[in-house]
């Protein structure tokens, strides 16, 4: 009789937890269900340099890079962006910081810590943002503060 009671408790708790688990980042699909990934967009390919939003922001990639080989043996980006080829290709040469090791020593070639470009640099897509962006760069904030008459009488 006690064995039957224990089996009944285990069975009852087992059916109660059969409800699927959800993760809000995945939408309405349960965790254990495979979902279809969204279709990739069409990257911007106009070669127009974009304004950076903050001082240390890596520049974005203004052209398509799908199919570029960037691995330990070859970096397709350097065909145009290396300091020796940039004048011919009219591409922006990589910064001198890309030629420095972690100790600040300048190297003859791209540093291994800066070799994989897409770790920092990203392509652009005309995608609709998932959330509203209210970011304002520091120059805009300072300009608004100077234009505000309430701040004009305050001395720094």
Annotated ligand binding at 63? The verdict is yes
117 assigned binding-site residue = yes
Is the pLDDT at 4 greater than 70, yes or no? Answer: no
The answer to the question of whether 148 is labelled as a binding residue is no
98 among annotated binding-site residues: yes
Going along the chain from its start, the domains and CATH numbers come out as 43-125 (1.10.1130.10)
Residue 50 has pLDDT above 80, yes or no: yes
* Beta pairing partners, 106: 100
Contact by Cβ (8 Å): 64, 43: yes
Q: What tens digit of pLDDT does each residue of 24-48 get?
A: 777 788 888 888 877 777 888 998 8
Residue 120 known to bind ligand: yes
Give the model confidence (pLDDT) of 86-143 as tens digits.
Answer: 999 999 999 999 999 999 999 999 999 999 999 999 988 888 877 888 888 888 889 9
60 contacts 121 by C-beta, under 8 angstroms: yes
- Residue 106 DSSP code: B
How confident is the model at residue 9, as a pLDDT? 55
Alpha carbon distance, N-terminus to C-terminus of the chain: 83
Q: Where are the beta strands (DSSP E) in the chain?
A: 70-71, 74-75
pLDDT of residue 107: 94
Q: What is the pTM of this model?
A: 0.63
What SS3 class is residue 142? helix
């Amino acid at each position: 009789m006690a064995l039957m009671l224990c089996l009944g408790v285990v069975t009852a708790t087992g059916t109660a937890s059969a409800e699927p688990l959800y993760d809000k980042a995945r939408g309405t699909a349960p965790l254990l269900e495979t979902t279809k990934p969204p279709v990739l967009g069409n990257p911007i390919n106009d070669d127009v340099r974009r304004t950076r939003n903050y001082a240390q922001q890596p520049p974005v990639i203004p052209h398509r890079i799908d199919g570029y080989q960037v691995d330990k043996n070859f970096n397709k980006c350097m065909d145009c962006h290396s300091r020796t080829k940039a004048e011919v290709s009219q591409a922006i040469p990589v910064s001198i910081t890309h030629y420095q090791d972690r100790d600040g020593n300048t190297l003859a070639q791209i540093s291994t810590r800066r070799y994989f470009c897409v770790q920092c640099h990203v392509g652009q897509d005309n995608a609709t943002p998932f959330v509203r962006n209210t970011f304002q760069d520091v120059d805009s904030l300072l300009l608004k503060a100077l234009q505000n008459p309430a701040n004009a009488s305050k001395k720094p």
